[in-house]
Amino acid sequence: MGGPFDAITDTIFADKSVLTEDYQPDEILERDEEIEEYRNALKDVLFGRSPQNIFLYGKAGLGKTAVTNYMMDALTEEIQQRPEADALHVHEQNCNGKTVFMVVRALVNDLRGPDGETFPKRGLGTGDAFGALYEELDTTGGTHLVVFDEIDHLDDVDTLLYELPRARSIGHITDSRVGVIGISNNYTFRQQLSAKVKDTLMETEISFSPYSADELRAILEERAENALKDDGYDSSAIAMAAALAARDMGNARQAIDLLRVGAEVAENQGEFRVTDEHIERARERVQRGRLSDKIRDQTTHAQLVLETLAHLEDDGETPARAKEIYELYQNVAESWANEPLTTVRSVHSHLSDLRMLGFLKRYERNEGLSGGQYYEFELDDLDPELVFDTREDIEDVAGDS
């Protein structure tokens, strides 16, 4: 009697990793202008000068992280050939759901290495963490580029961006140089910073626009050529995936996901060539995954508010008023060991933002002199189970870190 895998003898993929999110291509396509701006902003490092601060803006899937990784690798390699340059150290931190203390502590431990003394989680404050960071930076020496991904999600970001970029100018460090690279999905992030932080940063801004259908097609053709076996796709399927993604958000990640899932659909059907039909069937599956990614892109408290609406929807208690949502929200936040926001107004602000992002519907109610005017909210064609599953995944990852 054969095993359950005996019949699986062939695959459509030559190298499936090419279609994964963490794949780093040798060449970045359709981002020449952004790479040129990045190159000019980084060139001081080649001559042993203090690096510029750089901020990248654009929605998820537009190549900000991929371009950053490409530029960091290229700069690290080039430094080896430049006698004027100091040793280069690149540090990466994802800020989603983090506090300034958590981020600075992680940088300290990164600099100390696995054999060094771990900076404690409790008992010391943010100022202590910054002090330890400055000491480790000078001990290591050289130039340090610190990449803060999803920096718009960091609590009290003003403190970080006021302290770190000016560390050398005010004497906190003398034997090293630091540059900040911030990556944000929020185009208005800079407007939210305090005036003193804006004056301190003096950063180069690089904006990433959505890809066109032609640009996405070029990216997909290169990926398909490397990921799929010979004759593993129809050109029309590539064009269809590119057009669907361009029409939606201009998102390369979405386009690549459509191709990967389309190839999986074909393979599961015993077919070894991706066609338009396979891309169409992949569309629904990718849509669910994209909604999950959008949820992950929100701040922790915005996610908790959304989870609260999902519970109310699941119990048939929507649409609901903000004060009703706030009562349950407190329980949801505490169930995940998060301290709830303290006012209904703060939750109402998140409700308004979630509505503008397309997660919620809002209804205006007017009960005249007796009840006054107010709003009620409910999910906008969003499956509560998707919200629950995504939130559980997020908390599981946070618990493991």
Tell me the C-alpha to C-alpha distance, in Å, between residue 125 and each of 82, 83, 168, 370.
Answer: 39, 39, 21, 51
Which helix (H) or strand (E) segment holds residue 158: the answer is helix 157-163
Q: How deeply is 346 buried, as exposed, middle or buried, from its count of CB atoms within 10 A (0-12, 13-18, 19+)? A: middle
What single-letter DSSP state applies at residue 351? Answer: H
Binding site for ATP, by residue number, is 211, 223
CA distances from 279 to 10, 23, 111, 112, 257 (A): 21, 21, 45, 48, 10
Specify the amino acid at residue 49.
Answer: R
Strands laid side by side in the 176-184 sheet: 88-94, 142-149, 176-184, 54-57, 204-207
Pick the closest to residue 211 from 29, 17, 15 (CA basis): 29
Which burial class, exposed, middle or buried, applies to 317 when counting CB atoms under 10 A from its CB (0-12, 13-18, 19+)? middle
Q: In the structure, how many helices (H) and strands (E) does the chain have?
A: 15, 8
Report the binding-site residues: 211, 223
Torsions phi, psi for 245 (to 5 deg): -70, -40
- Give how far the C-alpha of residue 227 lies from the chain's centroid of Cα atoms, to the nearest Å: 24
Q: How far is CA 32 from CA 28, 205, 262, in A?
A: 8, 15, 29
Rg of the chain over Cα atoms, rounded to whole angstroms, equals 24
Alpha carbons 340 and 305: distance in angstroms, whole number: 10
Q: If we measure between CA atoms, which residue out of 327, 263, 268 comes closest to residue 18? A: 263
User: What are the strands, taking DSSP E only, across 26-70?
Assistant: 54-57
Collapse the DSSP code of 86 into the 3-class scheme (helix H, G, I; strand E, B; otherwise coil) and give the result.
Answer: coil
3-state secondary structure of 91: strand
CA 83 – CA 394 distance, rounded (Å): 45
